[in-house]
Amino acid sequence: MRGISVYLDQLAEFCPDIHSVWMIGERADDEALGACSPFGWDLLAFADSETLDRLREETDLHRSDICLRVVLDGNRFEPAWGDPSLAGSLCDWRWRHVSEREALYSRNSLDATRSAQRAIRLFEGRSWVRATAGVPPSRPGERIYA
């Protein structure tokens, strides 16, 4: 988590209207922080269209090792920068919460043999959560780093 925590601090500072950020992809699936994927970090942020517009304009937050998708209406998401083909919907991914900090999804609904992938909530509002221990902040606004 050390590799992403500074970035998440900047993201939360610049975009206080982000409701939550989830880690998806191989890192979340394996909880192997050294796992390789097309992006170093594959993130899904729940926000609104104004926040997406701000993120697109703020190029200081654009990083080639981060794919940040923004969920706009609780379902439809778009990349904050980069390849527009990364847009989609949580319904198409069959996104479902299994706990406060974990969700399951499947990006390829045509492949019934592939098991669901994991998503791990990194923060909700301004409160960070420990991705590996599942320890929530003890006070609102407290940040806990792994």
Number of domains into which the chain is organized: 1
Average pLDDT, rounded, for the chain: 80
133: in domain: no
Residue 63 lies in a domain: yes
Query: Whole domain around residue 102: which residue ranges?
Result: 2-128
Does residue 136 fall inside a structural domain? no
- How confident is residue 66, by pLDDT bands cut at 50, 70 and 90? very high
Average of per-residue pLDDT across 84-105: 95
pLDDT tens track for 18-44: 999 999 988 787 654 445 555 689 999
Say what the pLDDT of residue 1 is.
57
> Which is more confident, 56 or 28?
56
Q: Is 145 among the domain residues?
A: no
Alpha-carbon span 13 to 45, nearest angstrom = 14
Does the residue 82 lie in any domain?
yes
Q: How confident is the model at residue 146 (pLDDT cuts 50, 70, 90)?
A: very low
Tell me whether residue 14 is in a domain. Answer: yes
| Three state DSSP letters for the chain | CHHHHHHHHHHHHHCCCCCEEEEECHHHHHCCCCCCCCCCEEEEEECCHHHHHHHHHCHHHCCCCEEEEEECCCCEEEECCCCHHHCEECCCCCCEECCCCEEEECCCCCCCCCCCEEEEEEEECCEECCCCCCCCCCCCCCCCCC
Share above pLDDT 90 across residues of the chain, in percent, rounded to a whole number = 60
Examine residue 31 and state whether it is found in any structural domain, yes or no: yes
Task: Examine residue 58 and state whether it is found in any structural domain, yes or no.
Answer: yes
The enclosing domain of 43 has a CATH number of: 3.30.460
Q: So what's the pLDDT on residue 36?
A: 52
pLDDT greater at residue 76 or residue 134? 76
> Can you give the pTM of this predicted structure?
0.78
